[in-house]
Amino acid sequence: MENNAPETTTKNSMLKNTLLIAKFEIKKMLFNPRGLIALIAFALVWLLILLYPISGASSFLINPDFRGIIEGVFGPNTLSELFKWPVAELAVYWIAALYIFPLFSIFVSADQFATDKARGTFRFLSLRVGRDSLFFGRFIGHMALQCLLLALTVIATILLAITRDMSLLLPAISSGLIVTMNLMIVLLPYTALMAILSLYANSARQATIYAILVWAAMSISIAIINNYLPIISELKWALPGAQISLMINTQGLQTFMYAPVALIQAAVLLFLGKMYINRSAL
Amino acid sequence: MNLVNCKGLSKSYGDKKALNQVDITLHAGSPIALVGPNGAGKTTLFSLLCGYIAPSAGEVNLLGHKPGSPELLGRIASLPQDATLDPNLDVLTQLSFFATLQGYSDKNAKAEAMRVLNLVDLASSAKQKPSSLSHGMAKRVAIAQALMGTPELVLLDEPTAGLDPANAKKIRELVKSLSTNTTFIISSHNLDELEKLCDQVLYLEHGQLRQSVSMNESQHDDYITLTMQHCEPSALIEAVLNLADISSIEERQSNQFLIKHNSAEVYGIEIALLNLFKQRNWQYKALLKGRTLEEKLFS
């Protein structure tokens, strides 16, 4: 390695190392017994969700009487978009995934840094890669893994739909892509916030507890602020997942309406995380 | 270019000053020792040099760059105290990954990992997980990772602590054999070991640099350290004082004597001593030119 590496070389090796860290992170999670057990647990949970709520509820969704009941209970326009999904299975999957995946993300990405930092493993890495590469590499690795699992569940839902009606293949694929993209965007700020909490915590469990505290404290504070100072009620958008309840009643490309919220949140959180890792002791 | 340059380097943890205004300039070459009592700031200094922590005040430069700079990646390696590898992945996988981060291709990374494991005699444990290694083996793996890619500077924090004597000797030999291309900075409590390995010794105490001793200079000291098998100390002291050019003799430890002389011809004193032992039928254990490191630091 040259003493005074040109700027481009440094940047290239930073990008290369970021991707190497991301790749290793995926390998680490998929190809070791603990990772495999987590994966099997995840697959089983989703198998149950697919077999019962999704497969069962979609048959209700197609039924016009059920639509009448839902509109009667929640109001005519609250869940109206749900019935516009061309594939009923994906409509139910959409609701389930919007709530389950963020929760799953909190657990899966809680150990982006905590354990390695506590046992000093980063000390072996930080003399070989920059802290930025380490931070973004781990983040990308955890996002990639979640996207992989997300894609698998979407494919399983599509398969479920086409076993009912083969003609749904094309609309299912296009809706599936929209759902996957949307959920990936939804997960970005969750994973970014967990990266920061994981850097601060000494274990994955501690990071998860911090996450619960952060969400609870922020929700309560936002509710209080909304009550007393409605003028700054827009502060609610600062909390990752603030847009989820509104996303339920969207469909097709309309689902991307709230994507900027998650993207901005993720960008801010990643910037804060980058600053934090560069200032923290390893 | 200086290898290490510290100016007014300080690090505080709350009220406690772990390092206080340390100025150090080190040049590439023979291994450098860092000694000092527990809590003297040795590990803090190592952590600052590696960029694991940031200084509270002062400056530190390695090879002309600040610790953590992209220009230093892969050029500096360290055996950090108490750092362990991931217990879920085998040693070879982790070391190969480190090598890929240092720019090796996948195939060459494996070869480099095996090379360094061979250096510490642990090639046969390559497929083992760190959790199944003994403390000493884990330490040797940690030393192995520090030798990957032939870095310019290697910081070893207590490399032989917890190793059996045979392996400690192997590590010392390894450090000696690699010190032509790499400068080692070694922190240890084993002064005998440092004396054998290092040319320069830095002594830290209460977070301050108290002494910087050159082992080469000690060769020109007007001292001889004599260790006897067994003898009557008072008789030996009296007999030695009667020899020519002897200024003083003191018993420093049991059967170990420090002789100060004022002769430019050291061999004359040594020959006189050996003749004396022959006459009195005294058995000596060691005759050391100069003072031991322990004497230099603590007398």
Residue B261 has pLDDT above 90, yes or no: no
CB burial of residue B12 (10 Å; 0-12, 13-18, 19+): middle
This complex has an ipTM of 0.85
> How confident is the model over A182-193, as a mean pLDDT?
96
pLDDT value for A8: 45
- The radius of gyration computed from the CA coordinates of chain A, to the nearest angstrom, equals 21
Task: Report the pLDDT value the prediction gives residue A4, as an integer from 0 to 100.
Answer: 37
Contact B50 A127 (CB under 8 A): yes
Mean pLDDT of B66-72: 90
pLDDT at B284: 92
Candidates A20, A32, A123; nearest CB to B100: A20
Domain boundaries, chain A: 7-279
Q: Is the CB of residue A123 less than 8 Å away from at least one CB of chain B?
A: yes
What does pTM read for this prediction? 0.86
What is the C-alpha separation between A145 and B215, in angstroms, rounded?
Answer: 55
Strand partners, B111: none
Query: What average pLDDT does this structure show over B65-89?
Result: 91
Per the CB < 8 A criterion, the answer to whether A175 and A85 are in contact is yes
Handedness of CA B199, B205, B209, B211 (dihedral sign): negative
Q: Is A6 on the interface with B (CB under 8 A)?
A: no
> B72 in contact with A at a CB cutoff of 8 Å?
yes
Q: Which domains does chain B have, with CATH numbers?
A: 4-214 (3.40.50.300), 219-298 (3.30.70.100)
Contact between A32 and B80 using a beta-carbon 8 Å cutoff: no
pLDDT in tens, B148-164: 998 999 999 999 888 89
Instruction: With cut-offs at 50, 70 and 90, classify the pLDDT of residue A3.
Output: very low
- Asked if B78's CB is within 8 angstroms of A127's CB, the reply is yes
The first and second tokens of residue B219, run together, are: 């060769």
Exposed, middle or buried: residue B255 (CB in 10 Å: 0-12, 13-18, 19+)? Answer: middle
Residue B46 to residue B187: CA distance in whole angstroms: 9
| Minimal C-alpha gap between A202 and chain B (Å) | 14
Q: How many CB pairs under 8 A join A and B?
A: 84
How far is residue B296's CA from residue B274's CA, in Å, rounded to a whole number?
25
E-only strand ranges, B107-232: 153-157, 183-187, 200-205, 208-214, 223-230
Q: Which two tokens stand for residue A120?
A: 């000093």
Mean pLDDT throughout A56-75? 74
- Put simply, whether B73 touches A (Cβ < 8 Å) is yes
Distances (CA, A) of A112 to A28, A138, A143, A197, B186: 12, 6, 11, 9, 32
Burial of A1 (0-12, 13-18, 19+ CB in 10 A): middle
Residues of A in contact with B71 (CB under 8 A): 3-5, 10
Q: Which pLDDT score, from 0 to 100, does residue A82 have?
A: 74
Q: Do A279 and B54 touch (CB under 8 A)?
A: yes
pLDDT at A189: 96
pLDDT for the residue numbered A236:
79
Confidence (pLDDT) at B253: 83
Q: State whether A129 and B89 contact (CB < 8 Å).
A: no
What pLDDT is recorded for position B128? 95
Beta strands per DSSP E along chain B: 4-13, 16-26, 32-35, 57-62, 76-79, 153-157, 183-187, 200-205, 208-214, 223-230, 246-253, 256-261, 283-289
**Residues of A whose CB is below 8 A from B55:** none
B97 in reach of chain A (CB within 8 A)? yes
Nearest CA to B60 out of B23, B30, B28, B31 is that of B23
Distance (Å) of CA A185 to CA A100, A171, A181, A266, A269: 14, 21, 6, 9, 14
Tell whether A180 lies on the interface with B, counting CB pairs under 8 A.
no
Q: Which of A105-109, A235-239, B55-59 has the lowest mean pLDDT?
A: A235-239
Q: Which residue has the tokens 């970005």?
A: A188
